[in-house]
Amino acid sequence: MALWALASLLMIFLVAPVLIIMITSFNGTPYMEFPPKSFSVRWYTNFFTSPQWYQTAVTSLKVAVPTMIAATVLGTSAAIGIVRGSFPGRRALEAFFVSPMVVPIVVIALGFYFLFSGYKVLDTPLALFLGHTVIATPLVIVMVRAALQTTNPAMEFAARSLGAGFWRALWYVTLPSVRAAIGSAAAFAFLISFDDVVIAIFVAGPNSTTLPKRMWETIRFEIDPTLTAIASLLTVVAVVVLVTGELLRRSDPAERGD
């Protein structure tokens, strides 16, 4: 009973701020107020009609989708090589691949700033794409590696012994066995890119401002109630992406044991 009570209190502690923001986003007054004295969707309308907000959201989306694809391909390839490979230095290579997860993000962002400034790619979507791919790929590696370690490699060996080449066995045996993990990893890679603000602060400028960076700048200089609507929408996007990934995982025959 005490455990349930503690879990409930913890859940309330985590969820309450999000619910407060969502309720506040429907405030009809020109300032943030909770509880709202009147209700309106004016701040959602402002987000979709204001170029300074809508365009930054489009930029974030244009960067997040390629990042998701690149991180998923690179991370899955690296995970297969690490788990199924047997070459000297495999553990050291694995540690190098996942090192962006343990290095402070500010340090990584500062390094990107000096690197990209030397190649004249600052304030471009390319800089954001490269930076986000570096921080998203390690998570894909960890998730796909964990899934591969729970699969039986005998199925792959059987396919190879029956005449299937490496790529055919990879496509029809290895990847289907971990497709749920790949889908979940892709969802997280998308969210990492779409929600990033630290790297965007260092490498993005006026021509490539993302939505989280615009929100950070707005909080610094003004309190725009539109922020509550954007925060609510970002929460909904994150929930939808994660729930979709979970539904795909549950629908996977390999996960169900079929």
pTM of the predicted model, to two decimals? 0.80
What span, in angstroms and rounded, lies between the C-alpha atoms of 138 and 147? 14
Residue 210 has a pLDDT of 87
Average pLDDT, the chain: 81
Residue 252 has a pLDDT of 58
Q: Identify the domain containing residue 244 by its residue range.
A: 53-256
Does pLDDT of 65 surpass 90?
Answer: yes
**The domain that contains 87 carries what CATH number?**
1.10.3720.10
211-235 average pLDDT score: 81
- Give the confidence band of 243 by pLDDT, cuts at 50, 70, 90: confident
In a domain, 235, yes or no: yes
In a domain, 4, yes or no: no
Q: Is the separation of the CB atoms in 76 and 144 below 8 Å?
A: yes
In a domain, 29, yes or no: no
167-192 average pLDDT score: 80
Half-sphere exposure of 16 (CA within 13 A, CB side): 7
Does pLDDT of 70 surpass 60?
Answer: yes
In a domain, 13, yes or no: no
In a domain, 9, yes or no: no
pLDDT digits (tens, 9 = 90+) for 113-152: 888 888 888 878 888 999 999 999 999 998 888 888 887 7
In a domain, 92, yes or no: yes
* Number of domains comprising the chain: 1
Q: 50-66 as b/e, with b when 16 or more CB fall inside 10 Å?
A: eeebeebbebbeebbeb
Does pLDDT of 154 surpass 70?
Answer: no
Does pLDDT of 63 surpass 70?
Answer: yes
User: DSSP class of residue 178?
Assistant: T
Q: Give whole-number Cα distances, 17 to 9, 21, 35, in Å.
A: 13, 6, 13
Element (H, E) at 72: helix 51-84
In a domain, 38, yes or no: no
Helix axes 51-84, 90-98, angle to 10 degrees: 170
